[in-house]
C-alpha cells in the first residue's frame, strides 16, 4: 500500500485506528494542532521509509520561514501546518530518527530548512543534525541516465506516468486558511515519492549502483554544508582570487559584516548590502565618508545608517591586507582549453555508454582543476575512481 490518491481532507484525531481508516480512504491527513501531530506520527511510524518535502518562504528573510512539512509512506500522506503548532520538537525528532530511510527529491534545500529549524525548536545543547539515511530521487535518476537536474514532475512523468498540476508553484504558503487545492498540491509532493523510491531503488540495485547513491547521499549528511559561517561568506563571490590583496581583504571584511547583519536582522543579505555595492567599495577603497558616499550602487539609506561602520571596515581590511595572497591572474593556454574539451568529450562518451548523467560523472570544473592545476582528488574518491577518475587522470597525463 502507498499513499492513496484520495479526494477528501481530514483533520487528525487522537484515535490512531480511526486515523488509519481515514488515511486509507482519503490519502491526505491535515495536521493543525499538537495532539493531531502525535496521532499522525504514530501512524507514519509503522512505515520503513519516510517521504519528506517542505514548503517555505524566504523572500524577505535570511532564514527560510517553514510553513508546511509533508510526510508520507505506505500508510498515509500527512500535511503538517507547522505555523499552527506550539513546537516542532516532536516532528523534528521523528524526522531525525534514523530507523527509517528519508526519501526526498533534490534534497539539499529541504535539508537546509530542516537543519535551521532545529536551532529554533530544539535545545541549544543539541547540535543540529541532518536527517538520514537519505535517498535522493533526483540523484538516483541521474545515476540511471536521466538528466542530473531533472525536476520532480518530469521524473514522475517519465517513471510513473503521473502528471502533476503546476498552477500553485508560486503560492504564498504562509497565508491562512489553506485551500483544499493547496493541500492536495502539497500532498502530491510526497504522495508519489514512495513508489518512485521503490522503483528507482530496484533499478539501481539491478545495475549495481545502489552503493553509488549511498555515497552521494552520505555527503549530504554533513552538517557543515548547512552551517552559516560569516567569515566564509566571501566565498560565494566569484573572481576573488584575481583581486589585488587590498581589494580582496576589503571584499572579505565587507562580506563578513553583511552576513553577520543579515543573520542578526533575519533579512536577505542583498537587503543589507548589494553584491554590486560590495564589489564597488572593494574596488574604490574609499578613505573618507565623502568618497564612500559616491560609491556606485550604495543606497543612501545604507550609507546613512552604516557609513561610518563600513568605512572603518574598509580601513581595517586595507591595513591587514599583507595577510592576503598575491593576485592570481591565471589564464589558460589554448592547449589547456583544448585538453579540457577533450576530457569533457571523454566524460560524455563514457556517460552515454554507461547510461548515466554526465554531470554526475565529472563536471567541467573537475576537468579544469585537473588540467589547469593538476588537482584530481575528487575524481579519485569513491565510485568515480574506477568508473571515470583514473581514466581522466591517465588521459590528462598522456596529453601533457
Tens of pLDDT, residue by residue, the chain (400 residues): 466 554 444 554 445 555 544 444 446 899 999 999 999 999 999 999 999 999 999 889 999 999 999 999 998 999 999 999 999 999 999 999 999 999 999 999 999 999 999 988 888 888 899 999 999 999 999 999 999 999 999 999 999 999 998 777 778 999 999 999 999 999 999 999 999 999 999 999 999 999 999 999 999 999 999 988 999 999 999 989 899 999 999 999 999 999 999 999 999 999 999 999 999 999 999 999 999 999 999 999 999 999 999 999 999 999 999 989 998 878 899 999 999 999 999 999 999 999 999 999 999 999 999 999 999 999 999 999 999 999 999 999 998 7
Which residue, among 93, 143, 149, 97, has the nearest Cα to 118 in the 3D structure? Answer: 93
Which pLDDT score is estimated for 22? 45
Which pLDDT score is estimated for 26? 47
**Whole-number Å distance between alpha carbons of 252 and 260:** 12
**Whole-number Å distance between alpha carbons of 383 and 139:** 14
Which pLDDT score is estimated for 7? 45
CA distances from 159 to 41, 153, 203, 315 (A): 29, 10, 11, 58
390, with CB counted inside 10 A (0-12, 13-18, 19+), is middle
Burial 125-140 (b: 16+ CB within 10 A, else e): eeebbbbbebbbbbbb
- State the Cα angle at 11 between 36 and 136, rounded to 5°: 75
3-state secondary structure of 186: helix
How many residues appear in the chain?
A: 400
* Helix boundaries (H) for 15-72: 16-26, 34-44
Find the Cα–Cα–Cα–Cα dihedral 71, 74, 75, 78, rounded to 10°.
20
**Whole-number Å distance between alpha carbons of 66 and 58:** 9
| Domains, the chain, with CATH or none | 9-226 (3.30.420.10), 230-323 (1.10.150.80), 334-399 (1.10.150.80)
Which pLDDT score is estimated for 11? 52
Crossing angle between the packed helical segments 180-191 and 193-206, to the nearest 10 degrees: 20
- State the Cα angle at 284 between 275 and 267, rounded to 5°: 25
**Whole-number Å distance between alpha carbons of 14 and 37:** 9
Give this prediction's pTM.
0.90
Q: What is the CA radius of gyration of the chain?
A: 25
3-state secondary structure of 66: strand
Question: Is residue 301 within 8 Å of 291, Cβ to Cβ?
Answer: no
**Whole-number Å distance between alpha carbons of 141 and 176:** 35
Amino acid at each position: 500500500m502507498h499513499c492513496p490518491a484520495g479526494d477528501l481532507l481530514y483533520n487528525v484525531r487522537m484515535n490512531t485506528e480511526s486515523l488509519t481508516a481515514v488515511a486509507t480512504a482519503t490519502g491526505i491527513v491535515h495536521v493543525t494542532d499538537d495532539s493531531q501531530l502525535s496521532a499522525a506520527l504514530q501512524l507514519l511510524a509503522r512505515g520503513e521509509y519516510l517521504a519528506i518535502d517542505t514548503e517555505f518562504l524566504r523572500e524577505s528573510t535570511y532564514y527560510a520561514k517553514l510553513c508546511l512539512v509533508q510526510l508520507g509512506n505506505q500508510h498515509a500522506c500527512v500535511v503538517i501546518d507547522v505555523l499552527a503548532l506550539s513546537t516542532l520538537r516532536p516532528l523534528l525528532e521523528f524526522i531525525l530518527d534514523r530507523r527509517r530511510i528519508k526519501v526526498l527529491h533534490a534534497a539539499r534545500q529541504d535539508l537546509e530548512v530542516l537543519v535551521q529549524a532545529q536551532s529554533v525548536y530544539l535545545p541549544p545543547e543539541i547540535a543540529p543534525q541532518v536527517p538520514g539515511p537519505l535517498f535522493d530521487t533526483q540523484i538516483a535518476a541521474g545515476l540511471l541516465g536521466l538528466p542530473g537536474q531533472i525536476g520532480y514532475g518530469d521524473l514522475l512523468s517519465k517513471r510513473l506516468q503521473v502528471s502533476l498540476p503546476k498552477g500553485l508553484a508560486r503560492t504564498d504558503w504562509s497565508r491562512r486558511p489553506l485551500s483544499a487545492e493547496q493541500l492536495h498540491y502539497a500532498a502530491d509532493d510526497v504522495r508519489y515519492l514512495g513508489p518512485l523510491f521503490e522503483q528507482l531503488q530496484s533499478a539501481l540495485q539491478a545495475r549495481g549502483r545502489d552503493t553509488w547513491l549511498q555515497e552521494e547521499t552520505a555527503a549530504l549528511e554533513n552538517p557543515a554544508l548547512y552551517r552559516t559561517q560569516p567569515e566564509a561568506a566571501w566565498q560565494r563571490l566569484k573572481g576573488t582570487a584575481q583581486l589585488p590583496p587590498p581589494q580582496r581583504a576589503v571584499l572579505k571584511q565587507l562580506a563578513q559584516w553583511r552576513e553577520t547583519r543579515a543573520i542578526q536582522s533575519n533579512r536577505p543579505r542583498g537587503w543589507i548590502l548589494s553584491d554590486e555595492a560590495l564589489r564597488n567599495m572593494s574596488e574604490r577603497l574609499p578613505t573618507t565618508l565623502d568618497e564612500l558616499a559616491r560609491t556606485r550602487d550604495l543606497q543612501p539609506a545604507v550609507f546613512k545608517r552604516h557609513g561610518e561602520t563600513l568605512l572603518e571596515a574598509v580601513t581595517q581590511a586595507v591595513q591587514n591586507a599583507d595577510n592576503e595572497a598575491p593576485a592570481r591572474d591565471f589564464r589558460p593556454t589554448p592547449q589547456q582549453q583544448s585538453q579540457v574539451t577533450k576530457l569533457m568529450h571523454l566524460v560524455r562518451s563514457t556517460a552515454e555508454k554507461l547510461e548515466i548523467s554526465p554531470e554526475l560523472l565529472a563536471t567541467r570544473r573537475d576537468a579544469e582543476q585537473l588540467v589547469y592545476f593538476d588537482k584530481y582528488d575528487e575524481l579519485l574518491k569513491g565510485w568515480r575512481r574506477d568508473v571515470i577518475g583514473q581514466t581522466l587522470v591517465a588521459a590528462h597525463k598522456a596529453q601533457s
